[in-house]
Amino acid sequence: MSTTIHPPQELEPFLRPTWFIDSGHPAIVDFARQAVGDERDETARALRLFYAVRDGIRYTAYGIRLDRASFRASDTLTSGRGWCVTKSCLLAAVARANGIACRLGYATVRNHLATRKLLAMMGTDLFYYHGYNEFYLGGRWIKATVAFNASLCQKAGLKPLDWDGATDSLYHPFDVAGNRHMEYVDDYGPVADVPYDAIVGKFREVYPLDGLFESLKSQSATAPDGDFEAEIEAEAKEARTRLGKLGRSS
């Protein structure tokens, strides 16, 4: 990847707060300050922020709300849990709060290891508007995917998605057993703010909203809840048991 030097005015949209990326919120500022500590190196600070959000905010695919307020970074921080879109928004907020340029990216991915319950709820294995981040470090943009916390990966038999601040960190195509995991189908490109209307519009188009995202009807409603981490662990154990039986019978 070639190095491109961006003048300050081109980085400005990726440094300032927005309504969704509310990087000036006191809780966001405090979280970023505590995560970074006294570290002065920019890349090292970005890494501390990445891991603080990755593992400090629990990933869940259930209980997702689609009202505007639920997409705000400060709301995700307060709740302590989120999904790829809201966790990437939070990461952008804490990065900007620390003076690091960070933008949002979105892609369509095919999830080969989604739980049966989630696939039944969504009616497809295509996940539209999967969210990730791009940090401007060392004169170039570098991708980072903050969605899955380490404990979820361990229970699901997935490789934790680490980041070194120098190379792109995107979902692994295979799990630790060699099964297909995540396949990138399309990329929408980077943006400075959450494209809320586009995301909700796409979800209206492709997903069975009556069962999956009730909050489109009422801002106070939530989607069917559940312990996603426990569920994915149970299915991973079930798959290992099934494979073990096949191995013994062969």
Residues 204-243: pLDDT tens digits?
899 876 655 544 443 333 444 456 666 766 665 654 444 3
Q: What is the pTM of this model?
A: 0.84
| Residue 16: pLDDT band with limits 50, 70, 90 | very high
Say what percent of the chain tops pLDDT 90.
Answer: 56
Cα separation of the two ends of the chain = 47
CATH class belonging to 8-249:
alpha beta
Rg (CA), the chain: 18
Cβ neighbour number for residue 249 with a 10 Å cutoff: 6
Domain ranges of the chain: 8-249
